[in-house]
Amino acid sequence: MNARVISEKALEQGEGIMRLAPTWVPRSFCRPGRRIKLHPDDYYVLGLKRGGIDERWLASTTRADNGPGTPEDEGLSYVVADAEGKERVLLAEAVECLRGGIVGDQLWERHGKWPMYSKFFDNLGPLPHHVHHRDEHAKRVGQKGKPEMYFFPSQLNNHLGEFPFTFFGFNPETTKDEVRECLQGFAKGDNQLLDLSRCYKLTLDTGWDVPPGVLHAPGSLCTYEPQFASDVYAMYQSVLYGGQCVPQELLWKDAPKEAINDFDYLIEVIDWELNVDPDFHKHRFMAPRPARDTSAMQAEGYIEEWICYKCEQASAKRLTVLPGRTVTIRDSAAYGFIMLQGRGKCGRWDIESPMLIRHGQLTHDEFFVTEAAAKRGVTITNPSATDPIVMLKHFAENPELEMR
């Protein structure tokens, strides 16, 4: 069957809710934290050269940029139209075929695609201080700028890793000359870039907004990351906590050829005012906020909170359906969702949060809800007498943010 036929079948059988297969992504420069429910034998199933699997991408139409040898579909989500997974189509192809029938007419007209994805990022230690480019710099290498947000689900953090702290930006008194000097020393050893930065303790079930152009060295919590559909970045720190070295080519990743070895260009990529903001925590930290009146939601059998809400291009909610309740939840935009806890029904689908997943195995924990289905309302039943259903819902542009 061709892509359109499979897409239409998947859309019809789920009444606008499409089942997605798990999408696993390795990173050669990372060490898996082993909290994303992948079987312990499978974290290096793609081979040592590819690196350990420490990411699961969600509702993705964005290919992972992992250099030479990366499979063409790495990072891309598949829609599954049969129980065995033999009838499947890339979510990107389904969107291209059905357009507004999946993402909504306005979103399709603005972007011509599903313009975001989310992921679970699960690294044992911290990442280097790095930056995601703004549009003006990303377009020089054929990409888009990348805003992203972080949320730290307690369900996926049974241990906190080696360094549950994140560095953001620079100290307010930092100068560009100081940063340039650090970057020029990248190949000589530890370039001491973190000496210029501020570190924040990470708190479970809270999050951060990270606009493009902001330097950040993510800590070791397993992180849910809604973001714009791009994989553009550059690593500015040379030696990590614990002594792990960063390849120098990652300093120049996504720099145009004419800018390689131009340290002034690396400074230009930085959004300086955001990085030295003395009120960075006030402007970028996110605690959950109720989506509606809390008492009214509890009376109806659920609690829904905005968890990522400071970015227009991508946002996220956490939905909790209380034990023994059936609810119908309406949203104003299409979204993907991933189960964190519990089991039950969502429309026609069985939904559940698995304990352990083999690489290549299908699950019933990830789905995509079309705009029409979201506006019509999604009915969720929780049959448990004790265990809540908890799911995370990732949106692209959601008009509800304006009313928050």
> What does the pLDDT look like over 350-374, one tens digit per residue?
999 999 999 999 999 999 999 999 9
pLDDT of 402 over the 80 cut:
no
Bin 53: left if φ > 0, else alpha if -120 < ψ < 50, else beta: beta
Query: Whole-angstrom Cα distance, residue 392 to residue 307?
Result: 9
Identify the domain containing residue 271 by its residue range. 27-76+116-276
With respect to residue 108, please indicate whether it lies within any of the assigned structural domains: no
pLDDT of 29 over the 80 cut:
no
* Cβ proximity of 217 and 260 under 8 Å: no
Taking the complete model, does pTM exceed 0.85, yes or no? yes
Mapped onto helix, strand or coil, the DSSP state of residue 226 is: coil
Same domain, 297 and 345: yes
Same domain, 68 and 136: yes
Same domain, 327 and 272: no
With respect to residue 221, please indicate whether it lies within any of the assigned structural domains: yes
Same domain, 132 and 241: yes
* Cβ proximity of 289 and 306 under 8 Å: yes
Which of the listed residues 227, 246, 276 is the one where a domain comes to its end?
A: 276
Count how many domains the chain has. 2
Counts of helices then strands in the chain (DSSP H, E): 11, 26
Same domain, 267 and 299: no
With respect to residue 107, please indicate whether it lies within any of the assigned structural domains: no
Give me the CATH number covering residue 389. 2.60.120.10
Give 179-225 pLDDT, tens digit per residue. 999 999 999 999 999 999 999 999 999 999 999 999 999 999 999 99
Model pLDDT, residue 355: 97
Which of the listed residues 252, 276, 300 is the one where a domain comes to its end?
A: 276
Model pLDDT, residue 67: 81
Mapped onto helix, strand or coil, the DSSP state of residue 67 is: coil
Model pLDDT, residue 185: 97
pLDDT of 1 over the 90 cut:
no
Same domain, 249 and 357: no
With respect to residue 139, please indicate whether it lies within any of the assigned structural domains: yes
Model pLDDT, residue 111: 96
Same domain, 51 and 168: yes
pLDDT of 36 over the 90 cut:
yes
With respect to residue 82, please indicate whether it lies within any of the assigned structural domains: no
Q: What mean pLDDT do residues 154-177 have?
A: 98
Model pLDDT, residue 69: 86
Same domain, 179 and 327: no
Give 301-353 pLDDT, tens digit per residue. 999 999 999 999 999 999 999 999 999 999 999 999 999 999 999 999 999 99
Same domain, 222 and 312: no
Model pLDDT, residue 403: 52
With respect to residue 18, please indicate whether it lies within any of the assigned structural domains: no
pLDDT of 50 over the 80 cut:
yes
Same domain, 166 and 43: yes
Contacts of 68 (CB under 8 A, 6+ apart): none
With respect to residue 102, please indicate whether it lies within any of the assigned structural domains: no
